[in-house]
Chains A and B, each alone.
Chain A
Amino acid sequence: MATHADTLNADHGHQQTFFQRWFLSTNHKDIGTLYLVFSLVMFLVGGAMALVIRAELFQPGLQLVDPAFFNQMTTMHALVMIFGAVMPAFVGLANWMIPLMVGAPDMALPRMNNWSFWILPFAFILLLMPLVLYFFGIGSGGPAAGWTLYPPLSLQGGTNVAFTIFAIHLMGISSIMGAINIIATILNMRAPGMDLLKMPIFVWTWLITAFLLIAVMPVLAGAVTMLLTDKFFGTSFFNAAGGGDPVLYQHVFWFFGHPEVYIMILPAFGIISEIIPTFSRKPLFGYQAMVYATASIAFLSFIVWAHHMFSVGMPLGAELYFMYATMLIAIPTGVKVFNWVTTMWRGSLTFETPMLFALGFVVMFTIGGFSGLMLAMVPANYQYHDTYFVVAHFHYVLVTGSVFGIMAGVYYWLPKWTGFMYDETLGKVHFWGSTFFVNLLFFPQHFLGLAGMPRRIPDYNVAFADFNMWSTVGGFGFGFMQLLFVYIVWKCARGGVKAEARSWEGARGLEWTVPSPAPHHTFTRPPVIRDEDLAHGDVTH
């Protein structure tokens, strides 16, 4: 952490000790770095758990872990990846880039910014503690009821239930504070002339995402608090024997859970909408449509939750309604994809690593979108639900969607952060290797699901063996490619070809008007905004 970050801002004006800089900092760039490093560590932890899962599934039979531990791995893998890797990565990117993109000197609430980051390590210590203690022979291990924590199964866990729920509370507090900070920054700290409809799309997507976070994190907190009181204080919110309803939990959870999946993809849409214009050397096509499409997706995300629950036994009217509402999401999402493709049309394209990841994102996220549309169809959903088809679907949108989006963003802005260009050859190797292995990992899972393999099983019929073996090979390949990513980032932080202020020929936006690396303090006086500096030109004309 230290070596990586010390070189970032060699020219900052303060004399700070290591402790002051990295623990007490209220600087948006340093906090952004902390978020990103934390996210990378969690990505590797969650990835290691995924490899335990894939190793057990390499062959039929139970060779490596027992089923109870397997369930802990699937549960913890999801919680760590969602709350530890993907969400903090986006908050880190927001911290670093939003003030630079809107011409603000820092985030609006710097001390809260520090606090919202420093909650996270403690939240994850709590979350991971039952699992760690288990290795020392204490307790029965981590939560094993799946990341959705459906009761009554989740209530069969031991004390780990309390650890998990308090960890989720802390993550929720952190996310809400982060979201408040981002909204306050965007609405109050824009440089004069940076009208809302001149903001970069990344800022727009984060503004909308922040509202989603504030709306749904309390709902999750409520759901898990009810679990907590059911478990330890004798209430019966979800206990049928006490007059409660297990399905109520699912409704409340997915009222959080569906907006949550858009929380994890909208900022990626924003990143891609910055990168494709840069490497097409052409403004984004249909800027305003992109903004409205993002808002529409956010709105729709609140009214489709029960499509995760078609098999719980809903009335006909409800199933039809949730099917139609879900299908509608395809329209604004389609608008986004068409706009990206048209941005490339009549452009002048080059294919540096950020662009490769962005193009990979568009193709593979769209594949995940197709399977999502298929899953929306009730008659077919009865067959897809809770199978590996679903596993394939959400990994296409989350790994080749969100994670590829984050990586595209990291490559894109690394020169601005470090002042050095990353190794382009290694970056391309990382992209092509990751793309090959991630498809080997997840594409065969469509077939497994369609052939009838349920998700979350540690062992399977021999007929499923071949594709599972492919998938495991892909999983390990993808995992090891990410070690290359860590090396590329580390190497770039240490030195290399000096990056110019405008690190990419086609890059537009205020962040490219400050030197690389970005000085410790930027825009202490509001910049004068010229139309040609705007990310997408002056779209209001």
Chain B
Amino acid sequence: MKTARPVHALAGLVASFATQAVAATGAQPERWQLNLTPGVTETAQRAYDMHMWMLWICVVIGIVVFGAMAVAIFRFRKSKGAVADKTFVHSTRLEVLWTVIPTLILVVMAVPATIKTIDAHDTRGHEMTVKIIGQQWLWTYEYVGEGVRFTSRLDRDSERIRQSGRVPTLDEHGAYLLDVDRPLVLPTDTKIRFIITADDVIHAWWVPALGWKSDAIPGIVNEQWTKILEPGIYRGQCAELCGKDHGFMPIVVEAVPREEFQMRLAAMRAELDTAARTAATTPAAAPQG
């Protein structure tokens, strides 16, 4: 993360440049990707660490158990003259051993998991709040207290390709189904609180690089938070089946430095004011979205 600092300074105007610099942080999925990425938040780093910790413990247990099986399969074959030892059917010592050792392993897993879970729930000290509303099949975002609210839906290129029935390629559209008309712009190095709900059915807001997903449920307001450490464009998708276009309501977060964020917010407000004035003078205009 430190190495990207020089890029950070340059990235003020060219967000895509920053995206390339942080490609390994899971901005968007890559071909042949095998694993989670550490992402660009502490939460994502925690998920990644937890995942790797569990993975390696499981690999070790697997080697021991499958290794013992393999030895048994090769050593105790009838075809190699093995004779069954019918008295070897019980051993209190072994059974105590293989109850106690797994229990200790579970403790070793539970301690970091508990610490990380408690951290994830701590929404204190946030500097701004963003409201996320899931709808069939788009997202509405609102910067709470800033008077800026807009919708974000699948981009036209993806829409065109999916309607065509063709097979898309990476060259044709690298962010196929992972791009939107208007991204959610967020400041970096800022503790942002999200309040998440839905209008119709249950959706789930998930950007892997941020490290969590949260269900958007009608009638219920969920709370989450993030603090993005690197500027960039981070892509995700709805992660709860929400009807026929569940696969077509992506999420794009554009993380920019704090100063730039204020400019972008002001620009959005101005744009929305203009749109509102236009709508007021021409009553027949289509509703937003």
Interface residue ranges, A against B (CB under 8 Å): 59-63, 66-68, 71, 144-146, 150, 152-153, 156, 240-241, 244-247, 280-287, 289, 311-313, 316, 319-320, 323-324, 327-328, 330-331, 334-335, 337-338, 341-342, 344-350, 359, 362-363, 366-367, 370, 373-374, 377-380, 382-383, 385-387, 447, 450-467, 506, 536-537, 539
Contacts and interface: CB of A to CB of B under 8 A. Distances in A.
B69 A363 contact: yes
A233 B41 CA distance: 47
Contact of A334 (B84, B102, B170): B102
Contact of B213 (A150, A240, A311, A345): A311
Contacts of A347: 72, 76, 82, 84-85
A319 B120 CA distance: 11
Contact of A289 (B77, B95, B222): B95
B11 interface: no
A461 B28 contact: yes
Contact of A319 (B65, B85, B117, B204): B117
Given A150-B240, A452-B26, 18 more contacts: A313-B217, A324-B110, A331-B106, A341-B68, A344-B76, A374-B54, A378-B120, A382-B211, A383-B36, A383-B44, A385-B239, A450-B36, A453-B29, A458-B247, A459-B247, A461-B175, A464-B29, A466-B31
Nearest to B221: A313
A349 B248 contact: no
B46 A379 contact: yes
Q: Which one of B32, B161, B237 has the greatest number of beta carbons of chain A within 10 Å?
A: B237
A240 B218 contact: yes
B51 A284 contact: no
Given A386-B239, A450-B36, A349 B77 contact: yes
A330 B106 contact: yes
A235 to B, nearest CB: 15
Interface in B93-122: 94-95, 98-99, 102-103, 106, 109-110, 113-114, 116-118, 120-121
Contacts of A281: 78, 84, 86
Interface of B: 26, 28-36, 43-44, 46-47, 50-51, 54-55, 58, 61-62, 65-66, 68-69, 72-73, 76-79, 82-86, 88-91, 94-95, 98-99, 102-103, 106, 109-110, 113-114, 116-118, 120-121, 161-162, 164-170, 173-178, 200-202, 204, 206, 208, 211-215, 217-220, 222-223, 236-248
Given A153-B202, A359-B69, A373-B54, A285 B219 contact: no
Given A67-B244, A68-B244, A379-B116, A461 B29 contact: yes
Contact of A366 (B44, B65, B73, B79): B65
Contacts of A319: 117, 121
B31 A385 contact: no
B219 A452 contact: no
A366 to B, nearest CB: 6
B88 A323 contact: no
B236 A282 contact: no
Contacts of A466: 31-32
B88 A346 contact: yes
A331 B99 contact: yes
A452 B178 CA distance: 11
B212 to A, nearest CB: 4
Nearest to A344: B72
Contacts of A241: 218-219
Classify the secondary structure of A's interface with B: helix
A286 B91 CA distance: 7
Q: Which one of A244, A246, A284, A536 has the greatest number of beta carbons of chain B within 10 Å?
A: A246
A359 B73 contact: yes
29 contacts: A62-B165, A71-B243, A240-B217, A247-B220, A281-B86, A287-B89, A312-B217, A313-B217, A316-B117, A327-B106, A330-B106, A341-B72, A342-B91, A344-B76, A363-B66, A377-B51, A377-B109, A378-B117, A379-B46, A383-B51, A383-B211, A452-B26, A452-B208, A454-B238, A456-B247, A462-B173, A462-B176, A463-B29, A463-B31
Contacts of B113: 323, 377-380
Contacts of A342: 88, 91, 94
Contacts of A387: 239
A140 to B, nearest CB: 11
Contacts of B84: 280-282, 346-348, 506
B247 A344 contact: no
A523 B167 CA distance: 63
Nearest to A343: B89
Contacts of B208: 383, 452
A328 B69 CA distance: 24
A466 to B, nearest CB: 6
A338 B102 CA distance: 11
Contacts of B77: 348-350
Contacts of B88: 282, 285, 342, 345-346
A454 B206 contact: yes
Contact of B102 (A247, A330, A348, A379): A330
B204 A331 contact: no
A61 B161 contact: yes
Nearest to B69: A341
A324 B106 CA distance: 9
Nearest to A385: B213
Contacts of A245: 219-220
Contacts of B117: 316, 319-320, 323, 378-379
Given A347-B84, A366-B65, A461-B175, A61 B166 contact: yes
B30 A451 contact: yes
Contacts of B242: 153
Given A341-B65, A346-B84, A379-B47, A463 B170 contact: yes
Contacts of B238: 454
A338 to B, nearest CB: 5
A327 B58 CA distance: 13
Contact of B95 (A62, A335, A344, A539): A335
A285 B164 CA distance: 60
A70 B43 CA distance: 34
Contacts of A536: 89
Nearest to A363: B66
A8 B274 CA distance: 81
A329 to B, nearest CB: 10
Contacts of B175: 461
Contact of A60 (B65, B167, B246): B167
A450 to B, nearest CB: 5
A348 B34 contact: no
Given A316-B117, A461-B175, A61 B168 contact: yes
Contacts of A455: 241
Given A335-B95, A377-B54, A366 B62 contact: yes
